[in-house]
Amino acid sequence: MLRALSRLFSSSPSRRSLDAAGGGRRWQDAPASANVGTIHASASTIGMRAQHFTLNNPTGARITESLASNLVGDGIKPRSEHEDEAVRRVLQRLWKAWTDEADAEGQTDFYGLQQFAVRDLVVFGEVLFVFTYHPETGAPQLRRLHPEQLDRTKDQMFDHGGRVYQGVEFDAAGRRVAYWIRQSLLSGDALAGYSLAPVRIPASEVIHLFRQLVPGQVRGLSWFASVLLAAKELDSVLDALIVRARVAALHAGFITDTDGNPAYDGQKSDGTLTAGLEPGALINLPPGKDIRFPDTPDQGGASDLLTTTFRLIASGTNTTYEQATGDYSNVNYSSARQAFLEYRRFCQTIQHHLLVFGLCRPVWKAFIQYQVLQGVIPARDYTADRSAFDAVKWLPPAWPWVDPKNDAIAAEKALKNHLRSRSEIIAERGYDAEDVDAEIAADAKRLKDHKIIPSPDTSTESE
């Protein structure tokens, strides 16, 4: 006993380790760890496979659309927080007019570009926009580029300490200062200009978004990276099951004929008898006739396997099984609410930490600077307090309530007990409190002008 205790306390630190850091037979087939270089080397191939998955697979297409619809919806919209109400109104009016000109291609508005950004994030793992300017008005615009136009082959070291890696240029302090982008021969065709040398564009004129999964990551990785192999295997299983069903449907039965006379009535052509079976028919076979039916292969646990694989794919893309498949047959209120709340937290993280910070705020600053150049905002006022004009609150689309009645009652009680503000509750619904108050006041004035008496509230609140 004493000898065992002595060995325990005298063992060297090198001999003690965590199981996860151990070796031996159980870790022989463990995959090697992925580092930044692995991500950058594989991202292009994964992006192409992910694009094929979203274009050819209904699950991939649905996941992409679900993420775009829930992250952006009809748009993440700004609300100026300038202290002067008159200035706020002018900025909001000018912003609404500008959004229609935001797309340099003229195919959509700024909120449609947000949808494109989410799709590129999901499929390719990164978003690439460049600022351009309207040829007549000089208003800032955004041009959507294929992420692969950011030249991955551009690597260079500079004497001043800066470097270019994966097409992104850094200064000696590690700040992004420029992007090396291959020009496209055709608008929107990322591969058309592959033979052209990349062009250096200052970082202030480029919007490049991606989720940084590991420290030091410079380029993005498709959100489908962890599920593409499972999705490919799932396609193979589905194809095999379909082929199996088709083969099983080709044969009704095999007739063993010992004397050459058919057991069924039918037409015979080139030695082949065309006969049929009718439901519920009882047929007497002549002596010497034997009919055998092939055993249809059992699918085994194919259904459970498919469901499990779909759940893995949904989990790997941070969506729910129901959103990925459209199958709501086994959902109930409790599970739906829990899944919705978890999915909502994920979406809010992407909205505020990625889309608002990396896309919306730079666009708002470019919009404000354009108004200064146009003289709408006096340069003296802007120079004196830039933060007053740059201050803006971005409102994501409203989240639908899982249980509208109970959620509304809970919000009302929280408001009465001073646990939440009206502005917070209204913002949670995707609206701005000032706009809502203005509309309520306008409705009340309209009722008064037309001498319309509002209907009395006859509802009773049940505790």
Q: 3-state SS string over 210-279?
A: ECCCCCCCCCCCCCCCCCHHHHHHHHHHHHHHHHHHHHHCCCCCEEECCCCCCCCCCEEECCEEECCCCC
| pLDDT, mean of residues 40-58 | 92
* 31 secondary structure, DSSP code: P
The CA distance from 459 to 426, in Å, is: 23
Same domain for 48 and 185, yes or no, is yes
Same domain for 42 and 148, yes or no, is yes
Same domain for 252 and 351, yes or no, is no
pLDDT in tens, 376-435: 999 999 999 999 999 999 988 887 766 677 778 888 888 888 888 887 777 767 677 777
Question: Coil, strand or helix: which one is 184?
Answer: coil
Same domain for 196 and 243, yes or no, is no
Q: The tokens of 219 are what?
A: 């380029």
Q: What is the pLDDT of residue 444?
A: 83
Same domain for 119 and 148, yes or no, is yes
pLDDT in tens, 308-353: 888 899 989 999 888 888 888 877 777 777 888 888 899 999 999 9
Identify whether the C-beta of residue 314 lies closer than 8 Å to the C-beta of residue 320: yes
Same domain for 426 and 344, yes or no, is no
Give the domain extent around 176: 35-226+332-397
Question: Which carries the bigger pLDDT value, residue 16 or residue 448?
Answer: 448
The mean of the pLDDT values for the chain is 82
The CA distance from 155 to 303, in Å, is: 49
- Domain count for the chain, please give it: 3
Same domain for 145 and 171, yes or no, is yes
Identify whether the C-beta of residue 124 lies closer than 8 Å to the C-beta of residue 220: yes
Least confident of 79-93, 234-248, 290-304, 363-377: 290-304
Same domain for 127 and 244, yes or no, is no
36 exposure class (CB count in 10 Å sphere: 0-12, 13-18, 19+): middle
The CA distance from 180 to 284, in Å, is: 82
Q: pLDDT band for position 462 (50/70/90)?
A: very low
pLDDT in tens, 133-151: 999 889 999 999 999 999 9
Identify whether the C-beta of residue 392 lies closer than 8 Å to the C-beta of residue 79: yes
Identify whether the C-beta of residue 368 lies closer than 8 Å to the C-beta of residue 390: yes
Same domain for 233 and 207, yes or no, is no
Gyration radius of the chain's alpha carbons: 32
Q: The tokens of 212 are what?
A: 């940084």
Q: pLDDT band for position 160 (50/70/90)?
A: confident
Task: Give helix 361-374 / helix 85-99 axis angle, nearest 10°.
Answer: 110
Same domain for 87 and 122, yes or no, is yes
Is pTM beyond 0.85 here? no
